[in-house]
Amino acid sequence: MKTKLTLSAVLVASALALSGCQQDKPVEIVKAPLTEKDAEKFLGDVESELRALYLESGQAQWIYANFITHDTANLSAQSSQKFTEAVVRMANDAAKFDGLELSFDNRRKLDVLKLALTLPAPQDAEKTARLSSLAAQLDGMYGKGKYCKTDGSCLSLGDMTSIMATSRSYEELLDVWQGWREVSKPMRSLYQEQVTLTNEGAKELGYADTGAMWRSKYDMPADDFANELDRIWGQVKPLYDSLHCHVRAKLGEKYGTDKVPQDKPIPAHLLGNMWAQTWGNIYDLVAPENADPGFDVTDLLAKHNYDEIKMVKGAEKFFTSMGFEPLPESFWERSLFTKPQDRDVQCHASAWNLDNKDDLRIKMCIQKTGEEFAVIHHELGHNFYQRAYNKLPLFYQESANDGFHEAIGDTIALSVTPSYLKEIGLLDTVPDESKDIGLLMRMALDKIAFIPFGLLVDQWRWKVFSGEIKPEQYNQAWWELREKYQGVMAPLARSESDFDPGAKYHVPGNVPYTRYFLAHILQFQFHKSLCDIAGNKESIHRCSVYGSKEAGEKLNEMLEMGSSRPWQEALAKLTGKPEMDANAVLDYFAPLQAYLDEQNKDRQCGW
């Protein structure tokens, strides 16, 4: 976009032309310097254009996610290309104001605009089109992925997820684990090309590479942010190491120490999850003795005839009990709650706000389990956050940082305690505190086990974007990071003909992953603060803020800020201090840490 001439510049040029001055040299027109008023006009124009683009793009993406076909893929790619080209243009125009002294508000909006794209595209229409096409192809390959066996039978990811959760056959788990990773092999060359193109776009915007651009979204220098993640991980690592040691010992008892060596990382297919990112599905193998609380949420949901809609209504009720308004009627009309039998859809759970106002939706192929009940709380957390900030300028209609968005629903899920289950009629009696170790173990298998995985996905991508990890090292580096952070290893030989990172949705889907690491820290910080506000007198892991209007009011004050201020200020609004701190995690799991220390006394820990 060319800089618009001011009226005074045009008048000066006209006067020179009429004055009879010599014309043997071209007249040099000096453009007036940009001002804050120019920035405000630019931002106003951009906001109007963005509103229309967000709606058009959101509708195209929604249709594609719910009806995966060749045509909807093309429409999605075209819409994505149009949106990307517009935002690339806007971001580059925003960069023209970089040297100008502006108000905090205008500077922040311009910075938001420069960092708006996850995959910044080069200012070249052909390259932008190719980048959009690559993103759509990768997304579609994942969404349509199936494992078809030699007998002609095929398993969807949902089918394989269930097998990973319930099977205790070493060979069956290995077969399914390997089968799903056949889906990601063809993604490798497409992903490599995508990295090259998006790095080119990031450099045009003034960033070293796409990873550096992603890290610049956190209200601190990119390198300082990376150091902050390492600091927080250092706080949690001793608890994770204790959990890892106990789980490995129990898996060794189940499958034999020849299959699970007690001085090496754990084979990735034995942890109850396709990506070994959460381990809750193997609770039965590692549970403390006599710690069964006497109930299972999946069983309770079935006993009380909870279908998919009733599960969502139950999660909504938690938010309304804290003073939030119910979801709009359109949410129930337009959301996807169950997997259709007649078409391919993206079953990965997600929350949507299509019009940046009140067109809130979720897309989920809900399974009637306790785990999915927690996921629904998580997704509705996004929706209630989206509604809370929808009166802000479009630039600020986002969470304080992306970890906040992921943390809100999980914070509410931490209040799904036995006392809460009793209060809503799912449970008859609350177990005494002697049963808490079992509940904490189950929680840790999901929450604590996830934390290093939440860190390493973007550690891999940042190194890929920077060139530290070369294309010929993609898979090797992936497993090196998984062994380093998680103490998890591939159960069979892998090579560079594989592309195991692509077996995780967020890699081909280009969704930054550090947000989930942050969320697993922030949710405990939020929970502790909300419990204090609600006047909780019990142990932090027994607290539920269900029904606390005081906690709801304080939470909403933070949500309404959106991203209008640095995330440190939003954090302080709720917790009273601006730093992320994992001590709330350690406080929550303190009884479990003592139990694990006792169990691991005579074991060799580490890998």
| Catalytic one of 244, 506, 520, 541 | 506
Separation of alpha carbons 289 and 275, rounded Å: 27
* Catalytic-labelled residue, pool 85, 316, 379, 398: 379
Question: Coil, helix or strand for 154?
Answer: strand
> Does 378 participate in catalysis according to the annotation?
yes
Q: How far apart are CA 386 and CA 176, in angstroms?
A: 37
Cα–Cα dist 286/309, whole Å: 33
Catalytic, 406? Answer yes
The answer to whether the CB of 580 falls within 8 A of the CB of 518 is yes
Q: Is 304 among the residues known to form the active site?
A: no
What is residue 350's three-state secondary structure?
A: strand
Rg of the chain over Cα atoms, rounded to whole angstroms, equals: 26
606 conformational bin, left if phi > 0, alpha if psi -120 to 50, beta if neither: left
Rounded Cα gap, residues 503 and 457, in angstroms: 12
Q: Exactly one of 378, 405, 520, 541 is catalytic; which is it?
A: 378
Rounded Cα distance, 185 and 496, in Å: 9
Nearest to 381 by CA among 426, 414, 341, 345: 414
Q: Residue 147: what residue type?
A: Y
Known active-site residue 348:
yes
Alpha-carbon distances, residue 88 vs 50, 118, 130, 443 (angstroms): 12, 11, 14, 42
Respond yes or no: is residue 590 known to be catalytic.
Answer: no
Q: How far is Cα 527 from Cα 544, in angstroms, rounded to an integer?
A: 9
Q: How many CB atoms lie within 10 A of CB 552?
A: 21
Q: What are phi and psi of 442, to 5 degrees?
A: -60, -45
- The amino acid that residue 499 corresponds to is F
Provide φ and ψ at 564, rounded to 5°. Answer: -70, -20
Phi, psi (rounded to 5 degrees) for 193: -65, -40
Q: What is residue 6's three-state secondary structure?
A: coil
| Among 208, 349, 572, 590, the one annotated catalytic | 349
Euclidean distance between CA atoms 324 and 310, whole angstroms: 19
Lookup: tokens for 357: 């106002």
| Residue 520 annotated as catalytic | no
Residue 107 burial (CB < 10 Å; 0-12/13-18/19+)? Answer: middle
Q: Please pick, among 377, 382, 520, 527, the residue that the annotation labels catalytic.
A: 382
Torsions phi, psi for 399 (to 5 deg):
-75, 165
- Rounded CA separation 162/184 (Å): 20
Question: Which residues share a beta bridge with 266?
Answer: 488
Token pair, residue 499, equals 């592309």
Catalytic residue from among 9, 348, 560, 569? 348
Q: For residue 557, how many other CB atoms are within 10 A of its CB? A: 13
Tell me which of 316, 398, 406, 483 is the catalytic residue.
Answer: 406
- Beta carbons of 213 and 202 less than 8 angstroms apart: yes
506 is an active site residue? yes
Dist CA 102 CA 273 (whole Å): 49
Catalytic residue among 396, 505, 516, 588: 516
Helix (H, G, I), strand (E, B) or coil at 185: coil
3-state secondary structure of 578: coil
Q: Catalytic residue numbers? A: 348-349, 378-379, 382, 406, 506, 516
